[in-house]
Amino acid sequence: MLRKTIIKYAFFSLAFGLVLLTSCQRDDICPQSTVTTPQLRISFFDFEERDIPKPPANLRVKLSETDSILLNRVNIPDIRIPLRTNQNFTEYDFILNAAVLDSTGVDTTGNPDRLLFAYARNEIYINRACSYKVNYIDLNANLQPEQDANSFWIKEINITEEIIENETNTHIFIYH
């Protein structure tokens, strides 16, 4: 009788242990070292002296038609901005000489240029933890028309890479 009890106990302990071991899953955490969807890299240059980097003064970059500001009053010659992964275009306002926002979040003093970035998306499965990443192909960038064409501060847009697979290479040069 004691032997049957020990065998039952051993069987149930083994079964319980197997259930515990098989129900555990490894953590699905995407490592920071994993390459994910790249951002668009833009470098700014002087229109007259084309080899000289020229940071736009107090540049604000915001998603058009929203209050979502990505960069606020930066003075750097190289920026990275995300493109939408669920649409084939992203539209940004690049505001030169952006003022400090008032209490309502309005800036009426800067000089905005609206850029439309159009592209095709190529979704690539990474793994279960990281899911998908998107590479962009056939990149195109256009200044959107304003009331007065003389008010554009961006003079020229030069696409250097039409395929966005990484953030190390500059994809667009903007001359101003």
Q: How confident is the model at residue 107 (pLDDT cuts 50, 70, 90)?
A: low
Q: Provide the β-strand partners of residue 44.
A: 174
What local confidence, expressed as pLDDT, does residue 3 receive? 64
Q: How confident is the model at residue 13 (pLDDT cuts 50, 70, 90)?
A: low
For the chain, give the percent of residues with pLDDT over 70: 79
User: Is the entire prediction scored with pTM above 0.95?
Assistant: no
d(Cα 133, Cα 85) in Å, to the nearest integer?
9
